[in-house]
């Protein structure tokens, strides 16, 4: 049996301190439930004293039945010169109604004297009293030693004294924090080894990513004996973020032979990563290791033909192990093997003659300015259309976009769309904050009447690139659109000398693709009616 490493997620507390991330109570409850299903051991929900929203989270979380995870309330040690039982922040943890508390305290002598303005002895008493108070309330107490590694460098004896104070008072875990995120892996390893000689309580690691080493430092700490790792989904967090659990967990499980999640759960990692980005309204980084959209994307023809014969040639793990997928990118660098692989993914049959004509077709489109690397969905539609495997679900009779700007007034945009679906004609008009948005609204309104599921999709990104800058306004533009529904996202492309036409083309592809996927899903369900979905 693989040795267990406990996973402590702090996406909701440390992660939500990242710039541009703001989570409502509802968002936090959703993320916590998903993390619980994934099988993490601890979910730090927030700091109930510092933030009323966090207290509300804990009160509402009591109504949820948690399968695996223990909810944790965060706080700090008592104030200097005050009794723990009278400290509002410790009392708030008690009121949060959780079974586990994490409190942080100072390990660095400089912080004690300069920031807290108290004595080294009083700081030790603050740590001991605060831990003991919460233990007396029947809580499991995790002690986060803030700035431990920097403190250990400055004054190792005192830094170790602070840990001993927490251990003696009954802390279940001592977690060593690289709060400033500037340590190197070998420094971490050495310090953790020393701590383990000095204290009997199990040790954890909390690393920040300022030196781009949070994951490496976490793994080094585990090598030296830490058995709890703290981090966030997608590495969200203050400044450069926390250790990314989406990298920490697969490294620990797949490379180092530890067990982090219940068996089989690692295969849901990509889904959870994208779900959390979605809720936090953050565009996922394509090049994020393990779970990123490009993590298993192969472009060059030589790579692709090799990876198809033997995945180990260009993949460090199987993408399925973390729930990701291999993607073969089509571009003018790509050869027939990329195309074959792509067609196979879509269940299309290609003969050599068809293959050649499709590659020619793609090269011609790329010459005109199309780029399919970032537009998988448009590529799929192109392949299906050229192989005759595509059933048109609707036809556009016309589209009209108007922009009106009168002196002293705001510009108004309006679009009119006329579609034919079977023998039904749908005619709609809609306004928008710009012509593309108006066209999107009008097209969506028309399609929703016949295909209600289209309601769940939305555009999440819109990019315009001018292709031939020498030509000024007559230059071609390429529009890339990203759309999403739930956890799926897809990209489409349009090219024209007219920005509205290019946008319309990408928009249309996006909707056609959404309908294609919905149709495929329905066919799959019809083929296997007993399967739960």
- Stretches 7-15, 120-128, 346-354, 437-445: which one binds Zn ion (CB under 5 A)? 7-15
Tell whether residue 14 is a contact of Zn ion (CB under 5 A).
yes
Q: Which residues contact 261 (CB under 8 A, 6 or more apart)?
A: 7, 38, 39, 40, 249, 253
Nearest approach in angstroms of CB 226 to Zn ion is 15
Nearest approach in angstroms of CB 242 to Zn ion is 6
If DSSP codes are grouped into helix, strand and coil, which group holds residue 350? Answer: coil
Nearest approach in angstroms of CB 354 to Zn ion is 55
Please identify, using beta-carbon distances, which residue of 10 and 123 lies nearer to Zn ion. Answer: 10
Tell whether residue 144 is a contact of Zn ion (CB under 5 A).
no
- Stretches 11-19, 33-41, 275-283, 417-425: which one binds Zn ion (CB under 5 A)? 11-19
Please identify, using beta-carbon distances, which residue of 14 and 380 lies nearer to Zn ion. Answer: 14
H or E stretch at 28: helix 25-38
Nearest approach in angstroms of CB 176 to Zn ion is 12
Which DSSP letter does residue 251 get?
Answer: I
> In the complex, which residue's CB is closest to Zn ion?
14
- Stretches 14-22, 261-269, 274-282, 397-405: which one binds Zn ion (CB under 5 A)? 14-22
Q: What is the C-alpha to C-alpha distance for residues 296 and 313, in angstroms, rounded to an integer?
A: 12
If DSSP codes are grouped into helix, strand and coil, which group holds residue 129? Answer: helix
Please identify, using beta-carbon distances, which residue of 14 and 87 lies nearer to Zn ion. Answer: 14
Q: What is the C-alpha to C-alpha distance for residues 278 and 31, in angstroms, rounded to an integer?
A: 10
Please identify, using beta-carbon distances, which residue of 14 and 129 lies nearer to Zn ion. Answer: 14
Please identify, using beta-carbon distances, which residue of 14 and 244 lies nearer to Zn ion. Answer: 14
Please identify, using beta-carbon distances, which residue of 14 and 505 lies nearer to Zn ion. Answer: 14
Nearest approach in angstroms of CB 243 to Zn ion is 9
Tell whether residue 189 is a contact of Zn ion (CB under 5 A).
no
Please identify, using beta-carbon distances, which residue of 215 and 317 lies nearer to Zn ion. Answer: 215
Please identify, using beta-carbon distances, which residue of 8 and 370 lies nearer to Zn ion. Answer: 8
| Total residues in contact with Zn ion, by rule CB under 5 A | 1
Mark out the alpha helices in 111-205 (DSSP H runs): 120-136, 148-154, 156-168, 185-198
Q: What is the C-alpha to C-alpha distance for residues 5 and 193, in angstroms, rounded to an integer?
A: 17
Please, which contacts does 351-357 make with residues 24 or more away whose CB atoms are closer than 8 Å? 354/386, 354/387, 357/386
Nearest approach in angstroms of CB 87 to Zn ion is 21
Q: What is the C-alpha to C-alpha distance for residues 414 and 488, in angstroms, rounded to an integer?
A: 29
Nearest approach in angstroms of CB 152 to Zn ion is 17
Strand 100-106 versus strand 140-146 pairing type: parallel
Q: What is the C-alpha to C-alpha distance for residues 395 and 384, in angstroms, rounded to an integer?
A: 16
- Stretches 8-16, 97-105, 264-272, 399-407: which one binds Zn ion (CB under 5 A)? 8-16
- Stretches 10-18, 157-165, 373-381, 401-409: which one binds Zn ion (CB under 5 A)? 10-18
CA dist list (Å): 348 to 343, 354, 389, 511: 5, 11, 8, 21
Nearest approach in angstroms of CB 434 to Zn ion is 41
Nearest approach in angstroms of CB 230 to Zn ion is 8
SS3 for 496-519, per residue? ECCHHHHHHHHHHHHHHHHHHHHH
Please identify, using beta-carbon distances, which residue of 14 and 189 lies nearer to Zn ion. Answer: 14
Residues making contact with Zn ion (CB under 5 A): 14
């Amino acid at each position: 049996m693989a040795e267990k490493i406990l996973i402590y997620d702090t996406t909701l507390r440390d992660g939500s301190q990242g710039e541009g991330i703001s989570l409502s109570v509802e968002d936090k409850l959703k993320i916590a439930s998903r993390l619980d299903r994934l099988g993490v051991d601890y979910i730090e929900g927030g700091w109930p004293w510092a933030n009323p929203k966090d207290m509300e989270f804990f009160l509402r979380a009591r109504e949820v039945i948690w399968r695996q995870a223990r909810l944790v309330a965060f706080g700090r040690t008592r104030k200097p010169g005050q009794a723990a039982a009278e400290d509002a922040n410790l009392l708030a943890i008690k009121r949060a109604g959780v079974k586990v508390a994490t409190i942080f305290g100072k390990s660095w002598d400089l912080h004690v004297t300069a920031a807290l303005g108290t004595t080294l002895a009083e700081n030790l008493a603050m740590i001991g009293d605060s831990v003991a108070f919460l233990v007396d309330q029947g809580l499991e107490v995790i002690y986060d030693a803030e700035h431990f590694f920097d403190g250990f460098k400055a004054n190792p004896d005192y830094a170790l004294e602070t840990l001993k104070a927490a251990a003696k008072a009954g802390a279940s875990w001592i977690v060593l924090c690289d709060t400033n995120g500037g340590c190197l892996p070998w420094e971490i390893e050495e310090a953790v080894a020393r701590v383990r000689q000095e204290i009997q309580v199990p040790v954890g690691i909390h690393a920040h990513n300022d030196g781009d080493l949070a994951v490496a430092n976490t793994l080094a700490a585990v090598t030296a004996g830490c058995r709890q790792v703290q981090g966030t989904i997608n590495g969200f967090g203050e400044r450069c973020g926390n250790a990314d659990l989406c990298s920490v967990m697969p490294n620990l499980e797949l490379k180092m032979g530890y067990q982090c999640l219940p068996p089989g759960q690692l295969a849901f990692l990509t889904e959870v990563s994208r779900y959390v980005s979605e809720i936090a309204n953050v565009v996922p980084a394509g090049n994020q290791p393990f779970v990123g959209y490009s993590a298993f994307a192969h472009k060059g023809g030589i790579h692709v033909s090799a990876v198809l014969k033997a995945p180990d040639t260009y993949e460090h793990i199987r993408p399925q192990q973390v729930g990701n997928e291999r993607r073969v990118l089509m571009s003018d660098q790509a050869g027939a093997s990329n195309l074959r692989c792509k067609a196979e993914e879509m269940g299309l049959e290609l003969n050599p003659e068809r293959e050649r004509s499709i590659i020619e077709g793609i090269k011609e489109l790329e010459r005109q300015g199309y780029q399919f690397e970032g537009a998988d969905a448009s590529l799929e539609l192109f392949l299906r259309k050229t192989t005759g495997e595509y059933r048109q679900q609707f036809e556009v009779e016309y589209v009209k976009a108007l922009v009106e700007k009168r002196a002293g007034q705001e510009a108004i945009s309006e679009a009119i769309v006329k579609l034919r679906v079977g023998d039904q004609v749908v005619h709609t008009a809609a306004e928008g904050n710009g012509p593309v948005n108006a066209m999107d609204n009008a097209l969506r309104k028309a399609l929703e009447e016949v295909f209600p599921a289209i309601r769940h999709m939305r555009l999440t990104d819109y990019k315009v690139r001018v292709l031939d800058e020498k030509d000024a306004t007559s230059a071609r533009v390429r529009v890339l659109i990203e759309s999403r529904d739930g956890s799926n996202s897809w990209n489409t492309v349009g090219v024209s000398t007219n920005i509205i036409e290019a946008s319309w083309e990408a928009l249309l592809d996006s909707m056609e693709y959404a309908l294609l996927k919905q149709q495929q899903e329905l066919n799959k369900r019809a083929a296997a009616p007993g399967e739960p979905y």
